[in-house]
Chain A
């Protein structure tokens, strides 16, 4: 789960990281009032969960409250990479003499948090990594020791930060680490961390991603989830305990297991289904019971592009009879004539096939293998 910039900076501030004292507005009037109360030139910043806001015209300077009103009315409601802007952050404008990148993420290759910094702030770290990898300085953090002062100093020295700022930099890096750990974050970054013309260090922009698996114990963060920023079907899927990603094709896929779900999508493309393509990635997860399967089918069928549905269930912890009951249950609730190809294998698959056969549904075809299922689903989607 990603946090908005304003949510990230509020959280940073609560850990003592210096940030601008801006506020969020949802209307141009609010934007004007906030600008007036700040009493200085401001930046109006679109709050969307995607990058490239500046290029898209989602970040504008405003010299006075009237201009803030004007810019906010333009930015609110605009679409940035399919994300509609519902909120703008009104921050005091700052003068920048230097931009730095500072971030913490999980390095899966060593199983440790990794502190990274670069003297090239303000651009995406992936871009720096690709173009100028030596510009990134790294320190791996032992989880039982936490981030030590010397490690933060190594980084400060490595990116040629003037010595007078080392003390503040160490404090900011350590605060960022505490924030990362205590938020169960998978990413916490300040980009850019700036030195102003007044020679003050502070976080101009920030980004945090929270580990979805840890939200059960981070209730305050779970409440920050901006459902309006996500597709409705993905929200419904999450509530039903499913992983669903909308894609552009026409074959709805319901599969158990992420690897097999990806493979099923790959097979649709491999067997020439480029024209129809997978409509979604959907993993019903391990041990799905009838109710979850029914919810999954309702979500797939709510996509108007879906011309056929392919079920590929290879039971291990998931049981074929449970899946079959879920399919029948969902079809009783949401009758449809959309053709369905069902491939059941593994645990209790014979029981499952008996349930499907017993229901005697005209639009269901069975498939024996993954390849057979993909080919039949492509034919079905083309109306063959």
Chain B
């Protein structure tokens, strides 16, 4: 089962001819992902790794029946790429691009709500259903098929944790990186709900960070709706207030969004709290 992507996903890559698009498409193909083509305006008719390149998302969808789009285009063009994928009817849009202006995302968010598409990201590492498919940056070797669902705001912290889980024998149903921007298409709560309803997933690992209240919402959801056990880690306990820690969303402002508040809320909701991501496997047993 797993969630969001599996071996039946048909993936088109927006930005496949760029340096990163090219590299990561190849890694995805090597992983076994069914990459059916790419999109780069003005380069339709070319081929990358044996996959056809199209000028528009619509042309790519018409020709390949793609149902997932991965977006890896520069930030100034990313919002347009998301709108294009929504209008082409792509069911799952995964936007990896970092640095998209908030106002661009405000418009995207509004448009997305009135569409049938789901957006993961932006500024996220993508997702992986081990043994079936990956869309994004996650290193191929980190995952292992299994029954733990993983959801995280951070990319590299996810690789760290998933690698430690696999090494300890805890495989994953699906790993989802939702991204660290203030406005994102899919939240912790959305993914927790999917894991709760997924028969393959037995336990869930959640990795959050300082800033905003998404982890507090997650805690409320866990308390009210989840029957599956959750292990959580929150990054940024040592971060000084009023300082943005890299991610546009990772800032403690006006005393809100501290690691302690989030840890307390998650603990009160029944989640086990890890103080080191490498200890997550021991909390899963």
Is A267 an interface position by the 8 A CB rule?
yes
Contact check, A143 vs B154: say whether CB atoms are below 8 A apart.
Answer: no
Which residues in window 192-231 of A have CB below 8 A to B? 211, 213-214, 216-217
Known: A287-B20, A317-B24, A371-B278. A258 touches B246 (CB 8 A): yes
Contact check, A108 vs B249: say whether CB atoms are below 8 A apart.
Answer: yes
Contact check, B247 vs A317: say whether CB atoms are below 8 A apart.
Answer: no
Contact of A106 among B182, B243, B247, B277 (CB under 8 A): B182
Interface pick from B39-47, B48-56, B134-142, B198-206: B134-142
Contact check, B248 vs A213: say whether CB atoms are below 8 A apart.
Answer: yes
Is B155 an interface position by the 8 A CB rule?
yes
Which residues in window 152-185 of B have CB below 8 A to A? 152-160, 163-164, 180, 182-183
Interface pick from A156-164, A278-286, A357-365: A278-286
Interface pick from A4-12, A94-102, A109-117: A109-117
Contact of B155 among A106, A186, A257 (CB under 8 A): A257
Chain A residues with Cβ under 8 A from B245's Cβ? 245, 258, 261-262, 281
Query: How many whole Å from B26's CB to the nearest CB in chain A?
Result: 12
Which residues in window 23-42 of B have CB below 8 A to A? 24, 27
Which residue of chain B lies nearest to A313 when distances are taken between CB atoms in the complex?
A: B156
Contact check, B183 vs A108: say whether CB atoms are below 8 A apart.
Answer: yes
Is B228 an interface position by the 8 A CB rule?
no
Is A126 an interface position by the 8 A CB rule?
yes
Contact of A262 among B104, B210, B213 (CB under 8 A): B210
Complex interface bits, B248-285 against A, C-beta within 8 A gives 1, otherwise 0: 11100111100000000000000000011110000000
Known: A267-B276, A346-B142. A262 touches B235 (CB 8 A): yes
Contact check, A144 vs B110: say whether CB atoms are below 8 A apart.
Answer: yes
Contact check, A108 vs B212: say whether CB atoms are below 8 A apart.
Answer: yes
Chain A residues with Cβ under 8 A from B210's Cβ? 262
Is A345 an interface position by the 8 A CB rule?
yes
Complex interface bits, A258-272 against B, C-beta within 8 A gives 1, otherwise 0: 111111011111100
Query: How many whole Å from A235's CB to the nearest CB in chain B?
Result: 15
Contact check, B247 vs A258: say whether CB atoms are below 8 A apart.
Answer: yes
Is B83 an interface position by the 8 A CB rule?
no
Contact check, A216 vs B159: say whether CB atoms are below 8 A apart.
Answer: no
A263 to B101, CA, bound (A): 26
Contact check, A258 vs B250: say whether CB atoms are below 8 A apart.
Answer: yes
Known: A184-B101, A259-B152. A316 touches B138 (CB 8 A): yes
Query: How many whole Å from B186's CB to the nearest CB in chain A?
Result: 12
Contact check, B250 vs A245: say whether CB atoms are below 8 A apart.
Answer: no
**Interface size, A (range):** 35 or more
Contact check, B238 vs A317: say whether CB atoms are below 8 A apart.
Answer: no
Contact of A109 among B153, B164, B212, B254 (CB under 8 A): B212
Query: How many whole Å from A320's CB to the nearest CB in chain B?
Result: 10
Contact check, A286 vs B155: say whether CB atoms are below 8 A apart.
Answer: yes
Interface residue tally for chain B (C-beta within 8 Å):
67
Is B105 an interface position by the 8 A CB rule?
yes
Is B237 an interface position by the 8 A CB rule?
yes
Chain A residues with Cβ under 8 A from B244's Cβ? 245
A214 to B76, CA, bound (A): 8
Chain B residues with Cβ under 8 A from A267's Cβ? 276
Is A79 an interface position by the 8 A CB rule?
no
Contact check, B182 vs A262: say whether CB atoms are below 8 A apart.
Answer: no
Is A135 an interface position by the 8 A CB rule?
no
Is A129 an interface position by the 8 A CB rule?
yes
Chain B residues with Cβ under 8 A from A328's Cβ? none
Is B88 an interface position by the 8 A CB rule?
no
Query: How many whole Å from B33's CB to the nearest CB in chain A?
Result: 15
Is A181 an interface position by the 8 A CB rule?
yes
Is B1 an interface position by the 8 A CB rule?
no
Query: How many whole Å from B93's CB to the nearest CB in chain A?
Result: 16
A260 to B244, CA, bound (A): 14
Chain B residues with Cβ under 8 A from A371's Cβ? 276, 278
Which residue of chain B lies nearest to A181 when distances are taken between CB atoms in the complex?
A: B103
Known: A214-B102, A262-B235, A262-B245. A108 touches B155 (CB 8 A): no
A47 to B160, CA, bound (A): 44
Chain A residues with Cβ under 8 A from B163's Cβ? 314, 345-346
Contact check, B276 vs A260: say whether CB atoms are below 8 A apart.
Answer: no
Is A336 an interface position by the 8 A CB rule?
no
Query: How many whole Å from A2's CB to the nearest CB in chain B?
Result: 11
Known: A184-B103, A214-B103, A268-B238. A143 touches B213 (CB 8 A): no
Contact of B110 among A143, A270, A317 (CB under 8 A): A143
Chain B residues within CB distance 8 Å of chain A: 20, 24, 27, 75-76, 96, 98-107, 109-110, 125, 136-139, 142, 152-160, 163-164, 180, 182-183, 207, 209-210, 212-213, 217, 233, 235-240, 243-250, 253-256, 275-278
Q: A108-B183, A270-B275 are in contact. List 13 more A-B contacts (CB 8 A).
A: A109-B212, A113-B106, A245-B240, A245-B244, A257-B246, A259-B158, A260-B155, A261-B246, A263-B160, A263-B235, A345-B160, A346-B156, A370-B160
- 9 closest cross-chain pairs (CB), A and B: A259-B154, A258-B246, A126-B254, A257-B156, A316-B137, A214-B101, A111-B109, A259-B157, A108-B182
Cβ contacts A to B, 11 pairs, < 8 Å = A213-B248, A216-B76, A245-B243, A255-B156, A259-B156, A262-B246, A263-B157, A269-B238, A314-B159, A315-B139, A316-B136
